[in-house]
Amino acid sequence: MLETFSLLLLAAGAWFLWDSLKAREAANVAIRETCRQHGLMFLDDTVGLSSLRPARDEHGHAALRRVYRFEYSETGDQRKAGSIALLGAQVLAVTVTVPQAATIQTLH
């Protein structure tokens, strides 16, 4: 009985690790695309887990909701914090502050 429990625990741990790596890669891809679209730089090219909790998807299935933090910059000089929320490997939201369009003044 102990061997069976140990194998189940090992399998659950392996699944969790695989699922976490898949979610982290989905987060990195989504952040790179968001930064590219808005002309931002994704600093350190990685995310850090901020929150992990069970949740339900739109079909009522149990999944893990993860929130990752990351840093980005408009110019490379100033670091800003952003976040991304995922349910499983599905991106729910990416939060960044997009720079306002620069106002161009012509001096005569």
Q: What is the pLDDT along the chain (108 residues), one digit of tens a residue?
A: 889 989 999 999 999 999 999 999 999 999 999 999 988 999 988 899 999 999 998 888 999 999 999 999 988 788 999 999 999 889 999 998 876 654 444 444
Q: Alpha-carbon distance 20 to 32, whole Å?
A: 18
Residue 74 token pair: 């408009």
Structural domain of residue 87, as residue ranges?
Answer: 2-95
Q: How far is 92 from 23, CA to CA, in rounded Å?
A: 12
Q: Answer yes or no: is 56 within a domain.
A: yes
Q: What is the pLDDT of residue 47?
A: 92
Is there a domain that residue 105 lies in? no
Beta strands in 1-108 (DSSP E): 41-56, 62-73, 80-87, 90-95
In-domain check, residue 16: yes
Q: What are 21's strand-pairing partners? A: none
Give the model's pLDDT for residue 107.
47
- The answer to whether residue 106 is domain-embedded is no
Residues forming a β-bridge with 48: 69
User: What are the structure tokens assigned to 45, written together?
Assistant: 């090219």
Predicted structure pTM score? 0.81
How many H helices and E strands in the chain? 1, 4
In the chain, the amino acid numbered 15 is W
What are the structure tokens assigned to 90, written together? Answer: 């599905």
DSSP state, residue 79 = -
In-domain check, residue 58: yes
Domains in the chain, number = 1
